[in-house]
């Protein structure tokens, strides 16, 4: 059952996250499905969870699928382990996972350049038993700076995201202020100024944050916004969040970037998950 309609008279271009929507389809069929649903932009988590450095033929095939569908890739995650799954990211994990992240950085950045994608999302990793948080944070800053430099070379911003504590209890960034603190640290380390906050209103609402206050405080440092309703992480109108008010507040705060639809499809499937826009 679709939720109630949400006003969309805002200066936003919506982009579909095709790693949570249209997952009933093979990866290469998703751009065409996004286009058929009426959108010209999509974003992805790193699609090859077991391959930080996939075969060039796989990268070429995804590029061709985007071009054939006439869909712009507007956001891409760096390698983050099994996502969705038990992992939340890789860049702060000592050893093999961190090495996979670093091996992925130039590959992901070059693919982003080749398709005109201008935003790369770098997810922290969970806290690890036996490793001091300070050690993980130092590794994270080093790897985030490495990723920010790669993003800058291809004309992209680096996004830093807060998740939510109920669903990610050992993830260390579970508030907007903490994510922005990391953004500021990366920019101070590199001097590039291309690190930005990824404001995911679903995660922040799950953390119990005052969304109006977050928007007012951090819109100037925000490089991307993602939405899903709460509870349930469904489409706008299926939960309690007032997206008419929230999007309007973002507009007044000066945010004029993309808004990613990162929610779960309802029982009728992904193609039917956009009725709220009417």
How far is the C-alpha of 189 from the C-alpha of 126, rounded, in Å? Answer: 22
Domain count, the chain: 1
7 located within any domain: no
pLDDT for position 2: 44
263 located within any domain: yes
pLDDT for position 11: 61
CB 2, CB 235: distance < 8 Å:
yes
pLDDT for position 1: 33
**What pTM value is reported for the model?**
0.95
Mean pLDDT by 10 residues, the chain (278 residues): 49 91 98 97 97 98 98 98 92 97 98 98 97 98 98 98 97 98 98 98 98 98 98 96 95 96 96 90
4 located within any domain: no
155 located within any domain: yes
Return the H-helix or E-strand segment holding 151.
helix 133-153
Q: Which residues contact 228 (CB under 8 A, 6 or more apart)?
A: 200, 201, 202, 234, 235, 236, 261, 262, 263, 264
223 located within any domain: yes
pLDDT for position 12: 78
Residue 239 sits in a domain of what CATH number?
Answer: 3.20.20.150
Query: Strand pairing of 195-200 and 41-44?
Result: unpaired
43 located within any domain: yes
CB 269, CB 23: distance < 8 Å:
no
142 located within any domain: yes
pLDDT for position 6: 55
User: In the chain, what are the helix, strand and coil shares in percent, each to the nearest 5?
Assistant: 40, 15, 45
Q: Provide the residue range defining the domain that includes 230.
A: 14-269
Q: Could you give the residue numbers annotated as active site? A: 161, 262
3 located within any domain: no
pLDDT for position 85: 87
How far is the C-alpha of 218 from the C-alpha of 197, rounded, in Å? Answer: 8
């Amino acid at each position: 059952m679709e939720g109630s309609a949400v006003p969309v008279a805002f200066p936003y271009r919506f982009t579909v996250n095709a790693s949570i929507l249209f997952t009933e389809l093979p990866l290469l069929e998703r751009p065409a499905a996004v286009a058929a649903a009426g959108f010209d932009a999509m974003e992805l988590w790193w699609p090859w969870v077991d391959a930080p450095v996939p075969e060039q033929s796989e990268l070429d095939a995804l590029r061709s699928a985007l071009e054939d569908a006439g869909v712009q890739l507007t956001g891409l995650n760096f390698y983050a382990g099994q996502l969705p799954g038990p992992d939340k990211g890789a860049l702060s994990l000592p050893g093999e996972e961190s090495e996979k992240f670093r091996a992925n950085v130039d590959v992901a950045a070059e693919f982003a350049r080749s398709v005109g994608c201008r935003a790369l999302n770098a997810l922290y990793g969970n806290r690890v038993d036996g490793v001091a948080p300070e050690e993980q944070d130092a590794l994270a800053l080093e790897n985030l700076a490495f990723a920010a430099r790669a993003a800058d070379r291809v004309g992209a911003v680096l996004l830093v995201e807060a998740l939510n504590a109920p669903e990610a209890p050992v993830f260390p960034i579970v508030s907007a202020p903490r994510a922005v603190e990391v953004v500021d640290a990366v920019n101070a380390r590199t001097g590039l100024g291309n690190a930005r906050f990824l404001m995911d209103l679903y995660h922040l609402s799950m953390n119990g944050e005052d969304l109006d206050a977050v928007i007012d405080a951090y819109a100037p440092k925000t490089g991307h916004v993602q939405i899903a309703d709460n509870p349930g992480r469904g489409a706008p109108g299926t939960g309690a969040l007032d997206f008419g008010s929230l999007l309007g507040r973002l507009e007044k705060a000066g945010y004029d970037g993309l808004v990613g639809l990162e929610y779960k499809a309802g029982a009728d499937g992904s193609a039917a998950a956009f009725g709220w826009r009417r």
